[in-house]
A = this chain, B = another copy of it.
């Protein structure tokens, strides 16, 4: 079988990738959600290649806007996200990944989730603990 047959699901022009409403930069936001607890862990961006690779490799791969390259989540920290499910919303412009978060830490601050601040009394108050010192994560 031709590895580049028109029906190949991994092609960057595959139908399922074309259904996504990529923005002007060719990106969509992706929400990583803990598949067990339902906690929202983080939000990052994906381009076509990132989403195609996330599907084929079964781990979360994002597009880093700051570094302008693919970002295999966990490539430095070891905090890989194993992908259990990929969902798309009704507008085709947001992805949800249900993931198993290796190490139990998604945030670069060493916390479980990036959403560790809650609005209370007119202030963003930190309510979740640092589980590991970032200096120990990124050596």
Contact = CB atoms under 8 A, between A and B. Distances in A.
Interface string A95-111: 01000000000011101
Given A31-B31, A43-B29, A90 B119 contact: no
Contacts of A16: 119, 122-124
Number of this chain's copies in the complex: 2
B87 A117 contact: yes
A80 B66 CA distance: 37
Nearest to A90: B114
Contacts of A119: 16, 55, 85-88
Contact of A115 (B87, B109, B117, B118): B87
A14 B29 CA distance: 28
Contacts of A107: 90
Interface of A: 9, 14-16, 19, 29, 31, 33, 37-40, 42-43, 55, 85-91, 94, 96, 107-109, 111, 114-119, 121-124
